Structure 1
Amino acid sequence: MDVFKLFDAYSLRARLFPAIIAAAPAFAALALLISWKSFGLSNLVATLGILVLLFAIADFSRSRGRAIEGKLYAKHGGMPSITMFRRNDTTLDAGSKDRYREFLAGKLGTAAPTVQEENADQGAADAFYGQCGNWLRQNTRDTKKFPILFSENVTYGFRRNLLGVKVLALCMNVIVVALCALILWQMSWDIDTRMGNKTTVVLVVAVAHAAYMLLAVSHNTVWDASKAYGRELILSTEAFLTPAKPARKTAARKTASKTTTAAPPEP
């Protein structure tokens, strides 16, 4: 059975991939330190263990990612798709945001906050902008029609969930490194070049993996992706404001042309 078929495009790239990256040293250890020449009980246990581990880490990364998401919003003053809609935010031009407010207010069946109302009660205005974001998320699920928005959403989900399992991944690295060190220490009395090479490869993978998790996975990278997604979500309103292209009337034009050019019947 192909495990990847169990996931949709978003789940595969934003949930499963972080799980695979987080457990990379453990997978490397299982692949190199267990003999795969014949499929025995140990191989079956290892295969099932990998599958269970993938699902477990993917679920854990999502829950931890959501917890981190809430802390990021609180730290930076709110969700980007809300804060960028505010009149005191200059990420998007004021004219475009006025048009978006008017359109979304019509879709929501409520009045958009005026400048005075927003200045007097930013919380009430943010509640309206939150409803705008919800409407846009529900109406931009067509990934073919909104490919850029989907790509930004995947990037954000990937970074958020990977940050969610950062501590777990580093702990697994410590365990794998300790295991490799123990194997190499025991081999100092019983030299096995092949096993030593495999263990060294796993050790190198674990070290490189730890460096990546420490240097490339951070709150800043997640926040940057969150802002990019929030901006693109607001800009997706433009697609609803752009009039649809008129249907082609080629057949009608040809018929009209034939009627015009045809000679009238003789009396």
Structure 2
Amino acid sequence: MVFADVARRQGKRIEPKLIDRMGGLPSITMLRHQDTTIDAPTKARMHAIISAKLSEQAPTATQEQADPAAADGYYTRAGTWLRENTRDKKKFDILFNENVTYGYRRNLYALKWPALTLNAAIVIGCALAYWYALPEKYSLDLIPVFVIAVLHAAYLAVFSSEDAVREASRTYARQLLLSTESPHLGAVKAPAKSGAKKKPA
């Protein structure tokens, strides 16, 4: 639990910089009219469904261009609503798995250089141990340790990258937005509008 907490903390620490380099959260950027990740008819349905759930009209392409900050504010609220209403792991199992994949890649990337440093230290330690014949002296077999450290370092060097995190983030965001058409969200009611109650006649 300690190691998992440390990994998550490190992942959260680097996340803002990753989001900035991506141009914003994918769940926001994909809802923009100018983004072509999702086809226009599907995106129009998403906007309509989210507008009904938020009781707030989605920005048009013209409004988005005129005031990008306000449009992104709406898309942020849309993403927040979707995340809060898709937390059921059984109903939204694909979305949950994509979220796990993203978290794993983000946390692994955050620990990439400390892990590579540790692997290098293990490899050097094993080499020194064999150089001074320590395995024979203490009946230790360090070959599996050496091989695992080398393979783990190779995996980190090749597969743990910002591009891998970005891919997982976009895949999760796309699945999150596609959940708007899930029948499980159909029963979720829109939030009640605040205001004075009507007096009985």
RMSD: 2.1
Spell out the pairing of 1:62-81 with structure 2 (5 A cutoff): 62-81=8-27
Change (3 A) 1:150 1:225: same
Identity percentage of aligned residues: 47
2:80 matched residue in structure 1 = 134
- Cα distance change, pair 153–191 in 1 and its aligned pair in 2 (3 A): closer
Mind listing any 5+ residue stretches in structure 2 that lack a counterpart? 188-201
Shift of 1:194: 4.2
* 183 and 103 in structure 1: CA distance in 2 versus 1, 3 angstrom threshold: same
Q: Is the 8 A contact 2:64 2:70 kept in 1?
A: yes
Matched, 1:219 2:162: yes
State the one-letter code of the partner of 1:63.
R
1:95 aligns with 2:38: no
1:121 pairs with 2:67: yes
Residue aligned with 2:21, SS = helix
2-side partners of 1:82 and 1:191: how far apart?
60
Aligned equivalents of 1:186, 1:56: Cα separation in 2: 35
Q: Is the 8 A contact 2:89 2:96 kept in 1?
A: yes
Q: Which SS does the other structure have where 1:89 is aligned?
A: coil
2:52 maps to which of 93, 98, 106: 106
TM-score with structure 2 setting the length: 0.85
Structure 1 residue ranges, 4+ long, deviating more than 2 angstroms after superposition: 190-194, 240-244
TM-score calculated relative to the size of structure 1: 0.65
1:202 to 125, 145, 149: 145
Structure 1 counterpart of 2:98: 152
Query: What's the CA shift string for 1:89-112, capped at 9, x where partnerless?
Result: 111121222222122122223221
Map 1:21-32 → 2, pairs under 5 A:
none
Distance between the aligned counterparts of 2:152 and 2:44, measured in 1? Answer: 46
Aligned length: 187
Per the alignment, do residues 56 and 171 of structure 1 end up closer, same or farther by CA in structure 2, a change over 3 Å counting? farther
